[in-house]
Chains A and B, each alone.
Chain A
Amino acid sequence: MITTHQCANGLAVVVEEIEHVASAAYSFHIPGGILHDHEERVGEAHILTELTSRGAGVLDSRALSDSFDELGIRHSESAAHNRFVYRGSLLAEHLPRALELVASMALKPTFPQAELESIRSLYLQDVYSLKDNPGRWAMTELTQRYYPEPYNRPSIGTEEGLQGASIESLRDLWARCYSPVGSVLSVAGNVSAQEVIAQVESVFSGWKGDELSVPEFSACHDGQRHHINSDSAQEQIVLAFPAPKFLDELYYPAKVANSILSGGMFGRLFIEVREKRGLCYTVYSRHSANNDYGTTVAYAGTTPERAHETLEVMLEQLGSVEGLTEEELGRAKANLLSSIVIGEESVASRCGSNASDWWLLKRIRGVDEISAALQAVTSEQVYEVFQQFPASRYSLLTLGQRDLADKVGA
């Protein structure tokens, strides 16, 4: 059973009680993240979340880490592009202690100067090692060119940005962003909603703050062609084009459309590019959406001599859903529906999807609602997705030994 509760200070609490498990998971989302970093310090959001885990309340870095480890709580603190995220999974009996520690990190970080340089070094290494992972590198380069500022910021930050962070700037970022308004704390597992809500009301009661204003989202830069030279063994092909937003009436049809293209092993991209032609090992498309924008991203990694044909076949598949049968539509839906049921077995995935729902909708959709919406999608709606959001608007980035931009035209 799912219970939601709104605290007086603006913090939302979502609890899903699951009786037959011994575990629990929490997922705490606070508005902020890379989007809100000062433009000269892109990446400081990462340093900030990590720093909150290196000293909070009366606990120093070691004591805080030990407090989690003593109870076997697996935890992570991170910054996404539009939020700070604290996650953990644990034996349900330890949830009260876990929530105390999380509240302490968010509300009472001590900003130890001694920890700053080692944290900076960690995130700088992440930036330096980007080029050791060509797929991730290509995706980062495309993001920078496709999205408008500041939505195009690299998720790992920039070298200059990370270098620029100081204890003072981090305190400022924390004071500006960490606020109960718009934050959601989601818990799932063998817990009592009443007890969780009572504890949250108590440990977060002193938390005050205003709503964080979000930078306006202007248009994406579609129709671009880019190439980056690299002597990697494989050519990286990434492309992106606009897709339905989360609240768009074509949102569910777009999910089904993407399943037709890239679901399981039956997706058209996989069948045409890999299974029939053996052109690559990895090929996929993904549809992601929030309240501001939706995007379809497609990826393939292949050796240079097969790259051109790979791109051609990908574009052909992304461009049209011609010949769609009822059987194919049913398969695409079956795959989405079963992954929902199977995902439900994991407390971490329950609590994560509840948090996302609250973030986007301010309510929880629940498995039945999502299943019904997916079931109701018709082939006409899927055609509509391809018409209204044509792949022909794609921006392309290739990274490797061969520039394919001139092969496909502007």
Chain B
Amino acid sequence: MGQGKQHQAVLSNGLQVIGETSEDNKSCAIGFFVNTGSRDESEPEAGISHFLEHMMFKGTKKRSALEVTYHLGNIGAQANAYTSDENTVYYAAIIPEYFEDMQELLSDMLRPSLVQEEFDTEKNVILEEIALYQDRPHFYLFENAISEYFAGHPSGNSVLGTTKSVSAITRDQMADYFERRYCPSNITLVATGKYDWDSFLQRAENHCARWKDLETSRTTERFSPDSRHKTFTKKNITQSHVVLMCDGASAQDESRYELALLATIMGDVTGSRLYWSLVDTGVAESAGADNDAKDGTGCFMAYASCQPENLDKVVDTLRTTLETPLDFTEKDLEQAKNKLLSRMVLEGEMPLGRLMSLGLEWNYRKVLHSLEGEIQRVKEVSVDSIRKALSERPLSGVCEYTLVSE
């Protein structure tokens, strides 16, 4: 289990390369983790990180968009990408015989040509994606709640942007954003599974060393919430939705482990406090809790969806649960730990699971953790350490956002 060997290097231009090799796997995973997202956008750029992520598949100096797509297909790459408020990740699972090919292709893709015609077509796809999420009440609430909660702080920036902001983005703006954010020192190349590290690193040098380095930075001020509440409305929705948000542990806070376990105790899919009080009883359709550990700040949240007539009761229960975070037993903590540990082990057995875990860990903390090390840290969490974490950083400034039918 998790007996992968770990590796790390930095290319002359600042590009960071990390990996874990394991002979037990039958496949590999490879990805570029770019330390950028909607929080790094100026106001006129709203949605540009995500739009650019799409453009990464639309052609390079030596390949047209179709050539990129067909090449991915020819080697059976299970490739995709995602953009969040602070990370943009391009990744693929691949069988070992095509690993080398995949590395060359993905490296080429990361220097896109941003052809005007492709840019115009893809803009329509993005506008469709925005429309798609407008029809999903849960996403609609979260999008609006995050923007309200983090008002004035870059973590409130929307990943998708709006129809208006995306429509106005130009190719030149995107080229400028790319130049600013996709410099080698802001990118980490990661690979996991069955491959040879030395030749992987050598190829990284061949494919990426000429990428020009520039300086880039991100401001990571801590956000302090003030208690607020707001109700959003939407036509013709049947269920009501609510999310409570408050101060949480950041990606750099050591207490993120404590808060991850606290969120599991409070809101795991089964056997959690919210499960027993709301879902098991049928009062809510679903309920959960999460600590979103962001760069320099954190947000702890509890959420649920229910029938409109139960909304008040559901909000009260979520609020009471957040107000009494220590209302659990040693046994509850043991259960939460065991759930988290078995998930970590299962996820860690797949190259793609390890890729995500290693890549994000490196993006936030510049450390390489073994699966065993992570497991050990989770095991060390105690009722006392959770109490201590909460006394240093209470779940304060609770904000309440609801979505109901118009």
Interface residues of A (CB under 8 A from B): 20-23, 61-62, 65-66, 68-75, 89-91, 117-122, 125-126, 128-129, 131-134, 230-234, 263-266, 271, 274-282, 301-303, 306, 327, 330-332, 334-335, 337-339, 341-342, 344-348
Q: What would be 30 A-B contacts, judged by CB atoms less than 8 Å apart?
A: A22-B345, A23-B346, A70-B334, A72-B343, A74-B342, A89-B346, A122-B279, A122-B282, A125-B239, A128-B307, A132-B237, A133-B135, A230-B236, A234-B134, A263-B73, A265-B69, A266-B70, A266-B73, A275-B65, A277-B121, A278-B123, A278-B128, A281-B125, A281-B128, A281-B129, A301-B132, A331-B73, A342-B78, A345-B351, A347-B349
Chain B residue contacts of A131, Cβ below 8 A: 236-238
Enumerate B65-81 residues with CB–CB distance to A below 8 Å.
65-66, 69-70, 72-79
Chain B residue contacts of A23, Cβ below 8 A: 342, 345-346, 349
Q: Residue on B with the closest CB to A259?
A: B73
Contact A117 B282 (CB under 8 A): yes
Question: What are the 4 closest A-B residue pairs judged by CB atoms, nearest first?
Answer: A338-B76, A121-B282, A72-B338, A278-B124
Interface centre among B73, B237, B238, B339 (most CB of A within 10 A): B73
Q: Is B365 close to A, CB under 8 A?
A: no
Q: A232 is contacted by which of B129, B135, B350 (Cβ under 8 Å)?
A: B135
| Known contacts A72-B338, A234-B128, A280-B125, A65 near B65 by CB under 8 Å | no
Stretch at the interface among B22-30, B292-300, B386-394: B22-30
Chain B residue contacts of A118, Cβ below 8 A: 280-283
Contact A345 B27 (CB under 8 A): yes
18 extra interface residue pairs, beta carbon distance < 8 Å, beyond A72-B335, A303-B127:
A62-B276, A66-B331, A72-B342, A74-B339, A118-B282, A121-B283, A132-B136, A132-B238, A234-B128, A234-B135, A266-B70, A327-B74, A330-B74, A334-B76, A337-B76, A338-B78, A338-B94, A339-B76
How far apart are B292's CB and chain A's nearest CB, in angstroms? 22
Contact A331 B345 (CB under 8 A): no
Enumerate B7-27 residues with CB–CB distance to A below 8 Å.
24-27
Q: Residue on B with the closest CB to A116?
A: B282
Contact B238 A264 (CB under 8 A): no
Q: B136 is contacted by which of A128, A133, A278, A306 (Cβ under 8 Å)?
A: A133
Chain A residue contacts of B2, Cβ below 8 A: 22
- Docked Cα-Cα span, A119 to B132, in Å, equals 31
Interface residues of B (CB under 8 A from A): 1-2, 24-27, 57, 65-66, 69-70, 72-79, 93-95, 98, 120-129, 131-132, 134-137, 235-239, 270-271, 276, 279-285, 305-307, 331, 334-335, 337-343, 345-346, 349-351
Contact A341 B73 (CB under 8 A): no
How far apart are A327's CB and chain B's nearest CB, in angstroms? 7
Chain A residue contacts of B72, Cβ below 8 A: 264-266
Q: Residue on B with the closest CB to A91?
A: B342
Contact A345 B135 (CB under 8 A): no
How far apart are A236's CB and chain B's nearest CB, in angstroms? 9
- Docked Cα-Cα span, A264 to B75, in Å, equals 11
Q: B77 is contacted by which of A66, A125, A264 (Cβ under 8 Å)?
A: A264
- Docked Cα-Cα span, A84 to B69, in Å, equals 40
- Docked Cα-Cα span, A263 to B69, in Å, equals 11
Q: A264 is contacted by which of B73, B239, B281 (Cβ under 8 Å)?
A: B73
Q: Residue on B with the closest CB to A274?
A: B125
- Docked Cα-Cα span, A375 to B388, in Å, equals 60
Contact B66 A271 (CB under 8 A): yes
| Known contacts A303-B131, A334-B76, A342 near B95 by CB under 8 Å | yes
Chain B residue contacts of A129, Cβ below 8 A: 238-239, 285, 305
Q: A74 is contacted by which of B129, B343, B350 (Cβ under 8 Å)?
A: B343
- Docked Cα-Cα span, A376 to B223, in Å, equals 59
